[in-house]
Amino acid sequence: MSHIPSRTLGAVLGAALLLAACSAKEPASPAPVGPDAPAEAAGAADGHADEAAEGSEHGHDGEEEAAGGSPHVHGLADLAITREGNQLLGELITPMANLGLSEADGAYSDVVLAELGGLVEISGGECTAGVPDPGADTSSGHADGIVHFTWTCARPDAVTAIRFAGFEAFPSFEKVGTIYITETEQKAGDLTPASPELSLK
Ligand SMILES: [Zn+2]
Per-residue pLDDT of the chain (201 residues; tens, 9 = 90+): 334 344 433 343 344 333 333 333 444 444 444 444 444 444 333 433 333 333 333 333 333 343 445 689 999 999 999 999 999 999 999 999 999 999 999 999 999 999 999 999 999 999 999 999 999 999 988 999 999 999 999 999 999 999 999 999 999 999 999 999 999 999 999 999 999 999 998
Q: Measured between alpha carbons, how far is 129 from 78 in angstroms, rounded to an integer?
A: 19
pLDDT of 71 reads 83
> What separation in Å is there between the alpha carbon of 149 and the centre of ligand 1?
22
> What separation in Å is there between the alpha carbon of 129 and the centre of ligand 1?
29
> What separation in Å is there between the alpha carbon of 68 and the centre of ligand 1?
15
> What separation in Å is there between the alpha carbon of 189 and the centre of ligand 1?
23
pLDDT of 69 reads 55
> What separation in Å is there between the alpha carbon of 104 and the centre of ligand 1?
9
pLDDT of 76 reads 98
> What separation in Å is there between the alpha carbon of 130 and the centre of ligand 1?
28
Phi (first) and psi of residue 105, to 5 degrees: -125, -5
Q: Measured between alpha carbons, how far is 59 from 63 in angstroms, rounded to an integer?
A: 6
Q: Measured between alpha carbons, how far is 187 from 83 in angstroms, rounded to an integer?
A: 12
> What separation in Å is there between the alpha carbon of 43 and the centre of ligand 1?
39
> What separation in Å is there between the alpha carbon of 72 and the centre of ligand 1?
6
Count of CB atoms situated within 10 Å of the CB of 54: 14
Q: Is the pTM of this model over 0.75?
A: no
pLDDT of 80 reads 98
